[in-house]
Structures are given as C-alpha cells and as structure tokens.
Chain A
Amino acid sequence: AQSVTQLDSQVPVFEEAPVELRCNYSSSVSVYLFWYVQYPNQGLQLLLKYLSGSTLVKGINGFEAEFNKSQTSFHLRKPSVHISDTAEYFCAVSDPNTGNQFYFGTGTSLTVIP
C-alpha cells in the first residue's frame, strides 16, 4: 500500500509571504497525486491534481505543485498567501494498480497571520 507523508503538521506564515507545504509519497511507480483543501467546518475540495505530462501543475486560488519523481515528492506552493488561505491541506496519492483507493496524508494546518 502507498503511504503519504506531510512533513509539517502546522505552518504559520505572514500574509503576502510565500509558502510551501511538503508532501512525500512512498512508491516510485506511476501514481496520481492530489492536493485537497479543507476550510473550517467544511468538506475537502480539490486544489489540483497531477496525472501525467508537465511536472508543474497549477490549481485554483493561485496554488501550484511540482511533481518530482526522483524524490517522490509533490510539494504545494503559493507565492503570496491571503488570510482566506487559512485552512487544512491534504496531500493524496492514487495508485492506478489498486483501483480508486486514495491514500491521504495527515494534513498540514496553514495559518496566515495578518
């Protein structure tokens, strides 16, 4: 089975500063990669996904992520954060060899400080 590691459980950052949320996964075989965001008292929403092609993926709300196969990483970045980006962020991996099952990381709580 896959495993997903989100190295930082909490990330505080000042408004308009850049941020990077780190994600590593266990397998070097071809996988599909996702980032989800969860705002307080809401369900998870898809930010972006990598299936194939360009290793730099752009998502909603100005977020982007870069797939690095050699390092088995899929870090999420934003050049300038807003207060409204305060939320929980989850990295997930889907292994096409095991059907539709997703493997989620433990989440990173991003707090944007005014």
Chain B
Amino acid sequence: DAGVIQSPRHEVTEMGQEVTLRCKPISGHNSLFWYRQTMMRGLELLIYFNNNVPIDDSGMPEDRFSAKMPNASFSTLKIQPSEPRDSAVYFCASTKIAGGHNEQFFGPGTRLTVL
C-alpha cells in the first residue's frame, strides 16, 4: 500500500488566496483526520470523519476553514481566505474503525506558507 497520500507537499501563497489541501487515505480505512502542526501550538486536531461523515470539527479554527470528504478515498481541507497565521504543516491521517484501538497512519504533510 502507498500509505496516506497528501498533495501538494509544499504550498506558498499570498494572503487572501484560497488554498486547497488534498488527502487520499489508505484503502480500506474508514476514519480520516486532519491535523495542523506549528511550533507554537504543537499538533492540533482540526476535524475527523468516520465513514465520510464529519464527527468532530471543534478544532477548526474559524469559518475560513472547511473540510469535505465526498467519498472514502478523498478528502480536502480548504482555507479561504488564507492568512499568514495559517502557515503550518497540515497532516492527514487515517485508520480503520475496529474497537477504537487501531493506530493512525499519517501522511507526509503539506507545508503551507502564507505570505
């Protein structure tokens, strides 16, 4: 298996622009998570889906952030408009729901820089 795939790996954009981050979970996994990592705040859970349905989006910082999972093999995280404080590494992770104890598999991350 190719693991969790994220694209792009690096994104540099200007303040005010729309940014879309993409994630393809591991085939057969039915739970997907979006995290943000910064030096100041560490690793933060933004939102997670079970069977394509958003379960908890309380970590989404504000309305500028939105996430979708139209099918089991694809998810997007969108920031519109972007701001410099959104600069971070965004990780996607997936797991298979099985009693709640399976580990999460992480993608390589997308490093976002907003100028």
Of the candidates B56, B91, B103, the one whose C-beta lies within 8 Å of that of A101 is B56
B26 → chain A closest CB, angstroms: 13
Q: A96 to B99, Cβ gap below 8 A?
A: yes
Total inter-chain residue pairs, C-beta < 8 Å: 57
Q: B45 to A100, Cβ gap below 8 A?
A: no
The answer, yes or no, to whether B43 is at the interface (CB within 8 Å) is yes
The answer, yes or no, to whether B50 is at the interface (CB within 8 Å) is yes
Question: Using Cβ atoms and an 8 Å threshold, which residues of chain B touch A101?
Answer: 45, 48, 56
CA distance A105 to B91 in the complex (A): 16
Q: B108 to A106, Cβ gap below 8 A?
A: no
Of the candidates A45, A96, A98, A107, the one whose C-beta lies within 8 Å of that of B101 is A96
Q: What size tier do the contact residues of chain B reach?
A: 20 to 34
Question: Using Cβ atoms and an 8 Å threshold, which residues of chain B touch A94?
Answer: 100-101
Of the candidates B42, B91, B100, B103, the one whose C-beta lies within 8 Å of that of A99 is B100
Tally chain A residues at the interface, Cβ within 8 Å. Answer: 23
A41 → chain B closest CB, angstroms: 8
Of the candidates B4, B100, B104, B107, the one whose C-beta lies within 8 Å of that of A96 is B100
Q: A107 to B43, Cβ gap below 8 A?
A: yes
Given that A43-B91, A90-B43 are contacting pairs, would A100 and B100 also be in contact in the complex, using a CB cutoff of 8 Å?
A: yes
Q: Which residues of B contact A (CB under 8 A)?
A: 4, 31, 33, 42-43, 45, 48, 50, 55-56, 91, 93, 95, 97, 99-109
Q: Which residues of A contact B (CB under 8 A)?
A: 32, 34, 36, 42-46, 49, 51, 90, 94-102, 104, 106-107
